[in-house]
Structure 1
Amino acid sequence: MASTTAPEEGTRYSTPNITATAKSFSWEYPVPDNAFWNDLKFTVGRNFLSSFSSPEEIAQLPIDPNSTQSKPEKLELLLRLLNKKIAAREGEASPQTFYDVDYEGWDTAWLGVHTLQYELGRIPEAEQTIRMLADKRRNKANLSHFHSLSVLLFEQGKYAEAEEVERPVLDWLVGRLGDTSPQALGSRRIIARSIWKQGPERRAEAEALFEEVKRLAEESGSGKYAVYKDEQVEETETMLADLRAGRI
């Protein structure tokens, strides 16, 4: 992810009451706190804005901070802007490719495209994009794109495949960030809900995994991920309640 940061004033992060320590985590990014961005998910803002190299480049984008556009209109605008940027970078790189001359920039920009496709409900397109990113990753040990792929598989009812794809991702995340990181907890939830949806015969297994996630989330309150504790506990409890009620 690009290291560019926006001014601190008038920004928001992935969670309220962010700490100075948490701001330094690679997945955090200061997203503007204004009418355009506030009804879009944090990940949309982060993955879009980190595709641009400087605050000056961001400031030149045709984005009205006081916009009254609908959420789909905003997402379509951001997708057009990212596609335009990718096309421009491809032209600048010729006779090579954007991928050849700036892999990290290419990867970040296409991840932004994937995020927007997903938010717009274009699941087949989002899956095609994330599979491209996974297949073309230069560091084959990095499994982050498979984390996104497992979510898409789950949403298409491919529960066994989602579980299979996510299990090595969990091991990778635990080794890289630790058991109580929000990413590892999220990975466990993906596995747990995929197990649940495979049928009543695996419900007890899923319930046990949800209890493990909740325990680890509670434990995170005494470590460097403490700022995420409450939302991780709540998300785990809500997901299990929704599964039990048949809402997801």
Structure 2
Amino acid sequence: MADTKDTAQQQPKFDWDYDVPDTPFWRDLPFTAGRNFLTCYSPSELEDMNFDGTLSVPSKFAFLLSLLEARLATRKAAAAPVLLHVADYPEWARLMLGIETMQKNLDMPEEAETLRIMLETSEGDRRVSWLNMLAGFKLRHGEYAEAERLEREVLPWMQKHERLGVDSPQALGTTRTIIEALWKQGGSKVDEARRLAEETAVLVEAMGSSKFAKYQEEERQMLRDLVAELEKS
């Protein structure tokens, strides 16, 4: 029988995977918050930072946001007179993603402006992830039809992308947003949401033989939790 550790080591690592430190500061924050902050800094820069594990979760988000906003201001000043998204789009995008992530977790109205800027300064395929985040924003603020419309624009791109596909975590996450948006619109949309949830469950159960097999249990549980929560509403 294969050793569990060896099996884990053999699992593919994707661009979006990141080893967030297992420390008191990061332990109670969402994985995406850790990844989207940490990828904005070099290892040496992170070593010089003090992450106070005794802070409350909201205070942690506010602390991370303040650091990201200060770094964005510094980078903008260094790039001037050229705009940062022109001078160094990848760094600009990482910083804006980190800022949006913290604003979302703090339920800040400024998130809407951040998303607007991101969309206005991105073109082509670069807009996809921002549209996906905008759909999540619309869903959280009760604009269910608009959330559905945006995600239906994003989903085919994800499903056809050579590095993603129909059973990628990104495509399945987008599908869950559509399911929730449909369900919360009520009426016949609930039946449509149920059908889509059933179709998605079939995709998840087939993940065991795909390159995304390591995400199967997590995807299975997230779908079950979503449907269970929607059934209560």
Matched-pair contact (CA < 8 Å) for 2:131–2:150: yes
Q: Which residue of structure 2 lines up, in the alignment, with residue 197 of structure 1?
A: 184
Matched-pair contact (CA < 8 Å) for 1:111–1:130: no
Superposition deviation, residue 61 in structure 1: 2.1
- Residue 130 of structure 2, aligned match among 140, 145, 164: 145
Higher relative contact order (CA 8 A, sep 6+): 1
Superposition deviation, residue 94 in structure 1: 1.9
2:172 equivalent to 1:185:
yes
Superposition deviation, residue 34 in structure 1: 0.3
- Residue 226 of structure 1, aligned match among 204, 213, 217: 213
Q: Which residue of structure 2 lines up, in the alignment, with residue 58 of structure 1?
A: 46
Q: Which residue of structure 1 lines up, in the alignment, with residue 32 of structure 2?
A: 43
Q: Deviations over 1:39-87 (max 9, x none)?
A: 00000000001111x21111122324xx211111111110010011011
2:75 equivalent to 1:89:
yes
Distance in 1 between residues matched to 2:106 and 2:25, nearest whole Å:
16
Superposition deviation, residue 240 in structure 1: 0.7
- Residue 240 of structure 1, aligned match among 199, 205, 227: 227
Superposition deviation, residue 141 in structure 1: 5.8
3-state SS in 2 of match to 1:22: coil
- Residue 216 of structure 1, aligned match among 200, 203, 210: 203
Superposition deviation, residue 93 in structure 1: 1.2
Superposition deviation, residue 202 in structure 1: 1.6
Distance 1:150 1:195, change over 3 A: same
Q: How many percent identity over aligned positions?
A: 39
TM-score (norm 2): 0.92
Code of the residue aligned with 1:125 in structure 2: it is: E
Which runs of 5 or more structure 2 residues have no equivalent in the other structure? 1-6
Code of the residue aligned with 2:155 in structure 1: it is: L
Distance in 2 between residues matched to 1:37 and 1:225, nearest whole Å:
25
Q: Which residue of structure 2 lines up, in the alignment, with residue 102 of structure 1?
A: 88
Distance in 2 between residues matched to 1:184 and 1:19, nearest whole Å:
25
Superposition deviation, residue 100 in structure 1: 2.3
Code of the residue aligned with 1:172 in structure 2: it is: W
Q: Which residue of structure 2 lines up, in the alignment, with residue 116 of structure 1?
A: 102
Distance in 2 between residues matched to 1:186 and 1:73, nearest whole Å:
28
What pairs up with 1:147-162 in 2 under 5 angstroms? 147-162=132-147
Which runs of 5 or more structure 1 residues have no equivalent in the other structure? 1-16
Matched-pair contact (CA < 8 Å) for 1:214–1:233: yes
Matched-pair contact (CA < 8 Å) for 2:11–2:214: no
Superposition deviation, residue 140 in structure 1: 4.3
Matched-pair contact (CA < 8 Å) for 1:22–1:28: no
Distance in 1 between residues matched to 2:111 and 2:103, nearest whole Å:
5
Distance 1:201 1:125, change over 3 A: same
Taking only aligned residues, the RMSD between alpha carbons, in angstroms, comes to 1.5
Q: Which residue of structure 1 lines up, in the alignment, with residue 12 of structure 2?
A: 22
Distance in 2 between residues matched to 1:167 and 1:160, nearest whole Å:
11
Superposition deviation, residue 21 in structure 1: 3.9
TM-score (norm 1): 0.86
Q: Deviations over 1:187-243 (max 9, x none)?
A: 111111111111122211110000011110111111110111011111111101111
Matched-pair contact (CA < 8 Å) for 2:85–2:121: no
Q: Deviations over 1:90-139 (max 9, x none)?
A: 111122222221111001101100000000111x3112212211221144
3-state SS in 2 of match to 1:37: helix
